[in-house]
């Protein structure tokens, strides 16, 4: 697929079909992620896959807790609260594959180019890898959704993720059930008004 087509077709997906994802598809995505820029060529991105239903169901419970907290912030604005409640913001149980993406801070044990003022540059490197992964999924007919409404400290405990890993997101991966009329879902659903 052409780069610009992949960039414009990439969606943050929360509605998935049940189709499983071939391992080769994920292999291509991981290879694309490995080509992302990384500060000092540290390549600090770590990908942890969540395949079993029980774990995904626990992640969903954590999402529901976090989402309740988010909803409380909207109590003063009933119209907005109603719209927010109607939005599907994750596909944790339906998508056949979950993924936690982490930044491995152990790379800082050695001198690392580009971290002198902020080690957040490591996080930013991993985000570039995530974007490559996402575009590679899109070009192969798959998609994912980035779930940020989660207490990552709880996810870390649940999946016994090493202390030195910082979680950037939980991702639901699968075959998209819709492309939201070729626009971001939050635009399609009127959450955001924009050009």
Which residue ranges make up the site for its own copies (CB under 8 A)?
1-4, 6-8, 10, 12, 28, 32, 35-37, 39-41, 43, 66, 69-70, 73-74, 77, 80, 84, 87, 89, 111, 113-118, 120-121, 123-124, 127-128, 130-132, 134-136, 139, 146, 148-152, 168-169, 184, 186-187, 191-192, 194
Q: Sign of the C-alpha dihedral, residues 167, 168, 174, 178?
A: positive
Q: Which has the closest alpha carbon to 36: 106, 103, 101, 129? A: 129
CB-nearer residue toward its own copies: 50 or 135 = 135
- Distance separating alpha carbons of residues 131 and 177, to the nearest angstrom: 21
* 151 in Cβ contact with 170 (< 8 Å): no
What's the closest the beta carbon of residue 132 comes to its own copies, in angstroms?
Answer: 6
Report how far apart, in Å, the C-alpha atoms of 65 and of each of 61, 99, 151 are: 6, 19, 9
CB-nearer residue toward its own copies: 1 or 19 = 1
What's the closest the beta carbon of residue 3 comes to its own copies, in angstroms?
Answer: 4
């Amino acid at each position: 697929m052409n780069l610009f087509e992949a960039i414009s077709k990439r969606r943050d997906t929360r509605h998935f079909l049940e189709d499983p994802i071939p391992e080769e598809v994920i292999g291509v995505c991981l290879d694309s992620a490995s080509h992302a820029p990384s500060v000092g060529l540290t390549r600090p991105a770590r990908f942890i896959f969540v395949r079993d239903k029980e774990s995904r169901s626990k992640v969903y419970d954590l999402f529901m807790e976090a989402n309740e907290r988010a909803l409380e912030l909207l109590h003063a604005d009933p119209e907005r609260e109603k719209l927010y409640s109607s939005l599907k913001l994750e596909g944790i149980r339906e998508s056949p594959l979950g993924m936690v993406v982490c930044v491995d801070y152990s790379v800082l044990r050695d001198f690392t180019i580009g971290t002198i003022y902020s080690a957040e540059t490591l996080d930013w490197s991993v985000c570039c890898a995530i974007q490559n992964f996402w575009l590679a999924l899109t070009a192969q007919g798959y998609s994912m959704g980035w779930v940020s409404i989660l207490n990552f400290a709880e996810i870390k405990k649940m999946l016994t993720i090493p202390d030195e890993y910082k979680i950037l997101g939980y991702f639901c991966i699968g075959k998209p059930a819709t492309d939201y009329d070729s626009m971001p879902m939050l635009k399609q659903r009127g959450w955001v008004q924009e050009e």
